[in-house]
Chains A and B, each alone.
Chain A
Amino acid sequence: MNGISILAVSAAFAQGVESGGLEAAGDVTLLGLFLQAGLIVKLVMIGLLVASIWTWAIIIDKIFLYARTRKQLDRFEEVFWSGRSLEELYRSLADRTPTGMGALFVSAMREWKKSFERGASSPMGLQARIEKVMDVSLARELDRLERRLGFLASVGSVAVYVGLFGTVVGIMTSFQAIAGSKSTNLAVVAPGIAEALLATAIGLLAAIPALVAYNKLSNDVAKIAARLEGFADEFSAILSRQIDERNAKQG
């Protein structure tokens, strides 16, 4: 099926070359190259362009998101270690939907409160529940941060091949144009090859920033995740101490 479509495209391309003559062959502007290209090459180019736009959208979004997240973490840590009571902090945060460390804190405090309100007295069970809740919250936060980074990785590794595919198809069609026009004149071949190479160029243009950004952003995510995990451990340690103190008072 694929082969048939390629042949049809090439026939159309050959006709275009023959009827277009020298003016069409001489058009090597960006738009001219795009318009001359075969259907497959056009689709590849458009796909790569969309991928590039989406890649950059993700990059910009993530850069702002991570900057924002880091700022929130800093502010929360400042507030958390400022000596305010946890109850007060919880009350101020519980109304709005917090992110980052706030989300961990709120989820852990909520579980703590529920346990004490219902009168559950097993300290070991409470500790385990709090840790589990915090794990879930941490996973949710990380998922929010890492969302769409996979697309960057895909574009970084696949866009080159897609562009190469467009190039191969374009060169195939231009060779078929040689066969059709029975002339190896460079003027016959050059536009086809230039158009084909344009596909690879767009592929590289999409892939390089995607790959660089993926490496940088995933590194940033790892750092943020480490900070969150550190906070979760610290907070669970604090809560565990509180539980022990309460048990000692009660006992």
Chain B
Amino acid sequence: MKLGVALSSTAHAAVLAWGLLSFTAPAPLEVADVEALPIDIVPIEEFTQSVQGDKKADLSETPAPTPTKRPDVVENAENIGESKNDLKSEPEAKPAEQPVETAKADTPPPAAKPTPAPKVETEVPPAPEDTPAPTTEMAALNDPAVPITEETPVEEATPAESSEQFASLQDVSVVPTRRPEPPKPKTAETTQRKKEEKPASTKSASSDKKDPAVTDEIASLLNKQEPASSGAKKSDQQASLGTRKPSKGGKLSASEMDALRAAIEQCWSVPAGLADAEDMRVTVTIRLTPDGDIEGSPEVQATGGESGARRAFAGSAKRAVQKCAPYSLPKEKYDTWAEVVVNFSAADMF
């Protein structure tokens, strides 16, 4: 027994010694001395949703619309712009101003008397009502204009314009005023006026390069709306890339969806005794007004099942959706629930 104890003790001592030597502390983890990197976790929505800004501006850190110049602050203004009143929609272009502007714009090229005339005359189609008084002499003067105008029904209007040009040449400050009386020989039907616009615009395209004033004018003609100046909110930051009206990016939360679902479920009286209804599906698409009322009549699409049962099922679904209106949904997220698709499935009922 002594031998055993001695051998065992020495063996254990050896094992322990080996353990003490081998089970040393692990090598310390070497950490390079680098500066910590700040990491932000940002939701992808920040990038996928458009931000308020200017379409043509460069992208910058903070979203900002085109800066405004008006110094005074309108309280509770929500829309960016220069106007005094906070308007949501942009105002219509004012047609009354245009003849004045065009007349002014046309004044700079006075040197070439006969040649620019045909150009100018075509550029000003929306002013056919202007005074046609000295038509006859000027038409005779502007020989090259004649063949063109003969092709189009503008003929009466164009000489009128050119004559006006020349009148304004003599007296630059005189602004041609509109006269209520349309010229007699002119064919005043609207259809013809529409036609006359086409050649006018083609011509103007050819003359674009020469006259910047003219291109401006065309731009103002084509773009019937005034550029961004509807709201009254101030913005003094550098414009950033974005859209004028940013998407709110809201979506109905799960609880709101559940509330909607529960509301519709309560209104739904399931038709009794449906045969083979497991695979029937009805999709009801409704458009909602901001008040939550249904706009128009719901679109119903039903699939599966027998035709009779399907019809009954689709009818019940439609009635349920109509019965529940108006829905109370968060107004600020109207964009997301303007159109709601409700799926009715019979499979869940069995």
Contact = CB atoms under 8 A, between A and B. Distances in A.
B262 interface: no
Contacts of B9: 53, 57
Contacts of A189: none
Contacts, number: 49
Interface stretch (A6-14, A23-31, A102-110, A157-165): A23-31
Main secondary structure of the interface of B (DSSP, over half): helix
Contacts of A27: 25
Interface string A218-240: 00000000000000000000000
Contacts of B16: 30
Contacts of B5: 53-54, 57
Contact of B12 (A28, A29, A52): A52
Contacts of B3: 60-61, 64
Most chain A CB neighbours (cut-off 10 Å) among B4, B6, B7: B4
Given A27-B25, A29-B25, A49-B12, A56 B20 contact: no
A28 B9 CA distance: 25
Contacts of A54: 5, 8
Contact of A29 (B6, B8, B20): B20
Contacts of B4: 56-62, 64
A53 B8 contact: yes
Interface in B1-37: 1, 3-9, 11-12, 16, 19-20, 23-26
A172 B11 CA distance: 33
B8 A57 contact: yes
B25 A60 contact: no
Contact of A31 (B8, B20, B26): B20
B175 to A, nearest CB: 83
Most chain B CB neighbours (cut-off 10 Å) among A56, A58, A62: A56
B25 to A, nearest CB: 6
A59 B12 CA distance: 13
A201 to B, nearest CB: 10
Main secondary structure of the interface of A (DSSP, over half): helix
Interface string A30-70: 11100000000000000001001111111111101000000
A62 B3 CA distance: 11
Question: Chain A: interface residue count, which band?
Answer: 20 to 34
Contacts of A57: 1, 4-9
Most chain B CB neighbours (cut-off 10 Å) among A28, A54, A61: A61
A53 B12 contact: yes
A55 B12 CA distance: 11
Given A61-B1, A61-B3, A56 B8 contact: yes
B16 to A, nearest CB: 7
Interface string B187-230: 00000000000000000000000000000000000000000000
A60 B23 contact: no
Contacts of B12: 49, 52-53, 56
A21 B347 CA distance: 64
Contacts of B19: 30
Contacts of A64: 3-4
Nearest to A49: B12
A35 to B, nearest CB: 12
Nearest to A27: B25
Interface string A131-145: 000000000000000
Contacts of B23: 28-30
A38 to B, nearest CB: 20
Contact of A60 (B8, B20, B24): B8
Nearest to B12: A53
B77 to A, nearest CB: 52
A64 B1 CA distance: 10
Contacts of A52: 12
Nearest to B9: A53
Contacts of A32: 25
B18 to A, nearest CB: 10
Contacts of B26: 28
B11 A56 contact: yes
A110 to B, nearest CB: 29
A2 B214 CA distance: 102
29 contacts: A28-B23, A28-B25, A28-B26, A29-B23, A29-B25, A30-B20, A30-B23, A31-B20, A32-B25, A49-B12, A53-B5, A53-B9, A54-B5, A54-B8, A56-B4, A56-B7, A56-B8, A56-B12, A57-B1, A57-B4, A57-B6, A57-B7, A58-B4, A59-B8, A60-B4, A60-B8, A61-B1, A62-B4, A64-B3
Interface of B: 1, 3-9, 11-12, 16, 19-20, 23-26
Given A56-B11, A59-B8, 12 more contacts: A28-B23, A28-B25, A29-B20, A53-B5, A53-B8, A53-B9, A54-B5, A56-B7, A57-B7, A60-B8, A62-B4, A64-B4
* Closest 8 A/B residue pairs (Cβ): A61-B4, A56-B8, A57-B4, A57-B8, A60-B4, A57-B5, A30-B23, A30-B19
